[in-house]
Amino acid sequence: MKKLYCIPLAALLFSLLNFSGCPGSNKTFPLKGTEWKLETLNGKAVTLKGEKCITLNFAGSTEKISGQAVCNDYSGEYVKSGNSLTFSGIGSTKVMCDDYLHESEYYGMLVSVDAYTISEGKLSLTNKGLVIAVFKQ
């Protein structure tokens, strides 16, 4: 009879140990293969009309980026060394839209990036030590 209680108790204990703490606190977020969604740009929260969001994707096997800006798809290249990160060759489609956030501000931010950090599921892009954009997973 004692053996029957051991299995559920062990399962409960395992579950509590595995799922305790903050959600996602043990999860790692790689730069590549993760779709990042823009949360703040130059210290201001970013909200777009409807369900749209600005995204940044790092290609899994190449040094290429792609994503959705305010209205247009974009792509480019990046170079990463340690925490150093730079973007170049940013190009996009040319669809017009009326959202308040100008895509040129977003693209300008990308080309000014010189480093990054990932912490607690957030990607921070920096320029000379100042955070200029924060993305969430």
Q: Is the pTM of this model over 0.85?
A: no
Residue 7 has φ and ψ, to the nearest 5°, of -65, -50
Q: What percent of the chain has pLDDT over 70?
A: 76
Q: Which of 57, 105, 116 is nearest to 81 (CA)?
A: 116
Decide if 121 is inside a domain: yes
Decide if 89 is inside a domain: yes
CATH code: domain of residue 42 = 2.40.128.270
Predicted pLDDT of residue 34: 86
Decide if 91 is inside a domain: yes
Using 50, 70 and 90 to split pLDDT, how confident is the model at 99? low
Q: What percent of the chain has pLDDT over 90?
A: 56
- For CA atoms 45, 46, 50, 53, give the dihedral sign: negative
Q: Is 90 exposed, middle or buried (0-12, 13-18, 19+ CB in 10 A)?
A: middle
Distance CA(83)–CA(69), nearest Å, equals 24
Q: Which of 90, 82, 137 is nearest to 115 (CA)?
A: 82
Work out the mean pLDDT of the chain and round it to a whole number.
Answer: 81
Give how many domains the chain has, as a whole number.
1
Predicted pLDDT of residue 109: 96
Decide if 24 is inside a domain: no
Decide if 96 is inside a domain: yes
> How confident is the model over 32-86, as pLDDT tens digits?
888 999 999 999 998 887 778 999 999 877 899 999 998 899 999 999 999 999 9
Query: Domain span at residue 39?
Result: 29-136
Strand-strand pairing, 130-136 and 35-41:
antiparallel
pLDDT surpassing 50 at residue 124: yes
Decide if 7 is inside a domain: no
Predicted pLDDT of residue 133: 98
pLDDT surpassing 80 at residue 21: no
Task: Select the more confidently predicted residue: 123 or 33.
Answer: 123
pLDDT surpassing 80 at residue 90: yes
Distance CA(102)–CA(71), nearest Å, equals 10
